Amino acid sequence: MEQQYYKEYSKFLLVTDCVVFCFKDNQLNVLLVKKDSEPSKGEWSLPTAFVNENESVDNTVRRALAAKTGLEDIFIEQVRCFGDLNRDPYARIISIMYYALINIQLYDEKLNKRNDARWFPVKELPVMMYDQNEMVEVAIKRMRYRTMEKPVGLRMLPPLFTISQLHKLVEAIEDKLRDKRNFRKVVEEAYYIEKTDKIDKSSSKRGAALYRFNQRLYQHYLKHKL
Amino acid sequence: MEQQYYKEYSKFLLVTDCVVFCFKDNQLNVLLVKKDSEPSKGEWSLPTAFVNENESVDNTVRRALAAKTGLEDIFIEQVRCFGDLNRDPYARIISIMYYALINIQLYDEKLNKRNDARWFPVKELPVMMYDQNEMVEVAIKRMRYRTMEKPVGLRMLPPLFTISQLHKLVEAIEDKLRDKRNFRKVVEEAYYIEKTDKIDKSSSKRGAALYRFNQRLYQHYLKHKL
DNA sequence: TCAAAAGTGTTAAGTTTACACCCATGA
DNA sequence: TCATGGGTGTAAACTTAACACTTTTGA
């Protein structure tokens, strides 16, 4: 069928590039890897993968992420395609850009050595291959919008988290400070974030209450919007 | 270079699909064309085009739009790529979806016959090829978000427009009614929308003041946010 | 003269922001 | 005992929403 109807049309190399975010040292960080093959060997790059023949584009990203982080079931969102003519100087390659959110506690730091990888704070990114610096900017904007609209940012925190952790995370995402009392009010009103009876003693002597995201309550919230 | 480094990777057919919106009869409308070639000949489809070898993806969309509307310089925004395995039953085709906004006054209705095209109100769309109905839904959401964030919706109005026209447009985009007095207040405060001394007498006996978008004032607004 | 769309302000409700002190605890 | 992060309430500013009548004019 393809031969019959479409043989006159050009075909293209397709890659996915993924901006993997985590929250670390009170900052957003992005996972970069040193390219281990030509061209551009040795340059910092977003985790990237060529799309295979019998593979959805989403799956390409998941495959690349599993390879670089050891994790499955990562939250991903496609942002957009970068399809200009000379974005890659060596060949015509169309890239489909995603971002991913991971909980840094699940990332095995030994992978850094094995994969020649490193987490960079978003404010201290090196120059990357081709148009990847632009990709990160676009990804941050989309991620910021999405986390303000839906509670997906929680994927960068452990399942149990304190309000302070969430506060710092939101400040890092929005890149501005928020009043502590007003922030706590917002969290307490988001009734799909529930207080547990557990206490985190790791960050203060007094201890801080641990909260968790309740998926069921969130679905209920989505349906009824209150 | 491509041969050297990338020959092992698969290549893909790439198309663009574009949801072309206009504002007509107080409703959002989408331009569909009847497919004139196999496969799926005779089915309603979004304007679509295969990406050519030496052509950016953006340019592919512009080429398809020029062919179907006779217009250049159309506002377009890429939404996302649809890259699942079986979205097109005849071949593996990756689609990059855009939306476009056009002023229906610039569209020559004779093109409908020539291209087997038709404007459909978004609430009365026929069943389209493959995943195109989903594409329209996704495009509407993005377009709604964008028009609420930036004054791009004005591209669906003539250069001179009345507040009533803008009011109806915004109601169509947001799919809900707005209070007339509150709406007028918002427009009067958006100082990049300026009143002209021209009067439109076509829609009422009394006549309505014509307004226009001032690009210079808008750029100033963007810089200073007031 | 009347139908039809244009135009016009005020008040209440709700949301967002600003702000400062006490608490509990381990070192 | 004190340094550290955790926890708490109120009032002002601002934004959004609700609401109804008068004006103009061509048919």
- State whether residue A146 is helix, strand or coil: helix
Q: Are B135 and B82 a contacting pair, CB within 8 Å? A: yes
Nearest-nucleotide field for B177 (CA, C1'): D17
User: How many CA atoms, within 13 angstroms, populate the side-chain half-sphere of residue A59?
Assistant: 9
- Which residue has 């390879």 as its token pair? A67
Q: What sign results for the dihedral spanned by CA atoms B18, B23, B28, B31?
A: negative
| Cβ of A205 near strand D (distance < 7 A) | yes
Mean of all residue pLDDT scores within chain A: 95
Chain A residues whose beta carbon lies within 8 Å of the beta carbon of residue B131: none
Q: Are B162 and B183 a contacting pair, CB within 8 Å? A: no
Q: What sign results for the dihedral spanned by CA atoms B60, B62, B63, B69?
A: positive
| Tens digit of each residue's pLDDT (9 = 90 or more) over B142-197 | 999 999 999 999 999 999 999 999 999 999 999 999 999 999 999 999 989 999 99
Q: Which residues 197-226 of chain A have a CB under 7 Å from nucleic chain C?
A: 201, 205-207
- Mutation pick from B3, B4, B6, B85 vs chain A, by most beta carbons of A within 10 Å, is B6
Could you tell me if A41 lies within 8 Å of chain B, comparing CB atoms? no
Q: Shortest CA distance to A84 belongs to which of A75, A93, A76?
A: A93
**Distance between the alpha carbon (CA) of B101 and the C1' atom of C20, Å:** 52
**CATH classification number, A157-225, choose in 1.10.10.10, 3.40.50.620, 2.60.120.460, 3.40.50.1370:** 1.10.10.10
> Amino acid identity, residue B93?
I
| Cβ of B123 near strand C (distance < 7 A) | no
Domain ranges of chain A: 13-149, 157-225
Chain A residues whose beta carbon lies within 8 Å of the beta carbon of residue B9: 13, 50
Could you tell me if B50 lies within 8 Å of chain A, comparing CB atoms? yes
CATH topology of A13-149 equal to that of A157-225?
no
**Distance between the alpha carbon (CA) of B182 and the C1' atom of C17, Å:** 24
Q: Are A54 and A134 a contacting pair, CB within 8 Å? A: no
| Cβ of A185 near strand C (distance < 7 A) | yes
| Ramachandran angles phi, psi of B181, nearest 5° | -65, -40
- Walk along chain A (226 residues) and give the pLDDT tens digit of each residue: 555 789 899 999 999 999 999 999 999 999 999 998 888 889 999 999 999 999 999 999 999 999 999 999 999 999 999 999 999 988 999 999 999 999 999 999 999 999 999 999 999 999 999 999 999 999 999 999 999 999 999 999 999 999 999 999 999 999 999 999 999 999 999 989 999 999 999 999 999 999 999 999 999 998 877 6
CA distances to A214, B27, B83, B118, B132 from B108, rounded to whole Å, are 54, 19, 34, 12, 25
Q: How far apart are CA A33 and CA B155, in angstroms?
A: 43
Q: How many CB pairs under 8 A join A and B?
A: 111
Q: How far apart are CA B145 and CA B174, in angstroms?
A: 9
Q: How far apart are CA A90 and CA B17, in angstroms?
A: 27
**Distance between the alpha carbon (CA) of A168 and the C1' atom of C17, Å:** 19
> Which residues make beta-bridge pairs with A90?
none
- What pLDDT is attached to residue B4? 74
| Cβ of A181 near strand C (distance < 7 A) | yes
- What pLDDT is attached to residue B131? 95
- Mutation pick from B4, B62, B94 vs chain A, by most beta carbons of A within 10 Å, is B94
Could you tell me if A190 lies within 8 Å of chain B, comparing CB atoms? no
Mark out the alpha helices in B32-74 (DSSP H runs): 57-69
| Tens digit of each residue's pLDDT (9 = 90 or more) over B79-121 | 999 999 999 989 999 999 999 999 999 999 999 999 999 999 9
Q: Which nucleotides of C are covered by protein (CB under 7 A)?
A: 3-10, 16-20, 23-27
- Which residue has 């801080």 as its token pair? A208
CATH 3.90.79.10 fits B13-149, yes or no: yes
| Tens digit of each residue's pLDDT (9 = 90 or more) over A53-96 | 999 999 999 999 999 999 999 999 999 999 999 999 889 999 99
